[in-house]
């Protein structure tokens, strides 16, 4: 089994779905603008710096799923993907995904962003396998907590290894793509590591390690 593993935000997307979802909820009047924008920006800066407390962030990001009817949130999510996500799919991402499919690779998206936000984005991109941070659901109700291991930093490695172990065929080759230094542990487990529109820390490390460096944002 050959795997092609892709980070989502700022890799396959030319933007951050988690951050944009927060802004979308503000514009839709679902959350209080001043408080949410301030906290959303604070957590985003922590993510960029590699200091994010994923559990604290999850309690913040999942709160609208607790405070509002699920039917309302599902309709907002549908609009969000159509209006905010489809336009920011990186220009060369569909061709890259198609190339790996043509090679017979199994495609996986692995993202720290929660499954509620990212599941329809994986569908949009035609990727069947999604590893995301899973919100806890008890008796059909979101609790605001994370279920299991957060799919973040080293957690991405643990979750991916568990997924591979659950398959009937062993992994014979793995390619991994990411923009973020938060994903260095993931990239280090790949046979081919590719830095995509990389942040400065990852860009420097990729140069030292001899990893491929590409952009998916410019037209082919």
For residue 71, CA distances in Å to 17, 123, 136 come to 20, 19, 18
Q: HSE (CB half, 13 Å, CA atoms) of 22?
A: 24
Note if 199 is an active site residue: no
Torsion sign across C-alpha atoms 79, 80, 81, 87: positive
Distance of CA 96 to the CA centre of its chain: 17
How far apart CA 94 and CA 216 sit, in angstroms, is: 9
Q: Which of 7, 16, 18, 197 is catalytic?
A: 7
For residue 77, CA distances in Å to 11, 15, 24, 72, 94 come to 21, 17, 9, 9, 22
Distance of CA 48 to the CA centre of its chain: 14
For residue 93, CA distances in Å to 1, 24, 100, 120, 208 come to 22, 23, 11, 16, 25
Token duo for residue 109 = 């998206």
Torsion sign across C-alpha atoms 26, 30, 36, 40: negative
Note if 9 is an active site residue: yes
Catalytically annotated residues: 7, 9
């Amino acid at each position: 089994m050959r795997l092609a593993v892709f980070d989502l935000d700022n890799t396959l997307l030319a933007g951050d779905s988690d951050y944009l979802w927060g802004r979308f909820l503000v514009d839709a009047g679902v959350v209080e603008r001043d408080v949410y924008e301030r906290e959303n920006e604070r957590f985003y800066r922590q993510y960029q710096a590699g200091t994010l407390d994923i559990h604290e962030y999850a309690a913040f990001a999942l709160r609208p799923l607790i405070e509002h009817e699920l039917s309302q949130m599902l309709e907002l999510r549908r609009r969000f993907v159509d209006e905010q996500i489809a336009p920011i799919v990186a220009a060369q991402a569909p061709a890259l995904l198609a190339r790996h499919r043509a090679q017979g690779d199994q495609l996986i998206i692995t993202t720290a962003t929660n499954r509620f936000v990212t599941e329809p984005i994986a569908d949009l991109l035609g990727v069947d396998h999604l590893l995301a941070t899973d919100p806890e659901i008890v008796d059909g109700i979101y609790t605001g907590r994370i279920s299991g291991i957060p799919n973040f930093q080293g957690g991405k490695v643990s979750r991916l290894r568990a997924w591979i172990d659950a398959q009937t065929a062993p992994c014979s080759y793995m390619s991994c793509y990411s923009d973020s230094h938060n994903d260095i542990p993931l990239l280090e487990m790949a046979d081919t590591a590719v830095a995509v529109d990389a942040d400065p820390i990852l860009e420097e490390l990729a140069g030292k390690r001899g990893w491929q460096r590409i952009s998916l944002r410019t037209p082919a």
